[in-house]
Amino acid sequence: MPPVIGRVLDVAAAVALSAAAAFVIVAVNGFLMSRGGALTGFRLWYSFIGRPDILGTMVLTALVTFFYLVWQQRRRPRI
């Protein structure tokens, strides 16, 4: 696999993990609320994740973290 595709997959995995963490928080909150049904948390999460500003923030955070880690590894001396 080319290194570029591996990096893209790393960023996509970070975005997916962020979305999953947000889903758990919102879904558990939806289950604990007295009104609504079982799908209230899912609907709320889906409307939250579908916003372009939220997706952009998740992708930007994953990219910055990834490139920072790559930069740190290149600066570290090999022993």
The Cα 11–Cα 51 span in angstroms is: 19
Q: Please give the model's pTM, rounded to 2 decimal places.
A: 0.67
Domain assignment of residue 48, given as a range: 3-75
From first to last of its 79 residues, what are the pLDDT tens digits of the chain? 787 888 888 888 888 888 888 888 887 877 777 666 667 777 888 888 899 998 898 888 888 888 888 888 887 776 6
CA 15 to chain centre: 3
Query: For the chain, what is the domain count?
Result: 1
Q: Is the dihedral of CA 20, 23, 29, 32 positive or negative?
A: negative
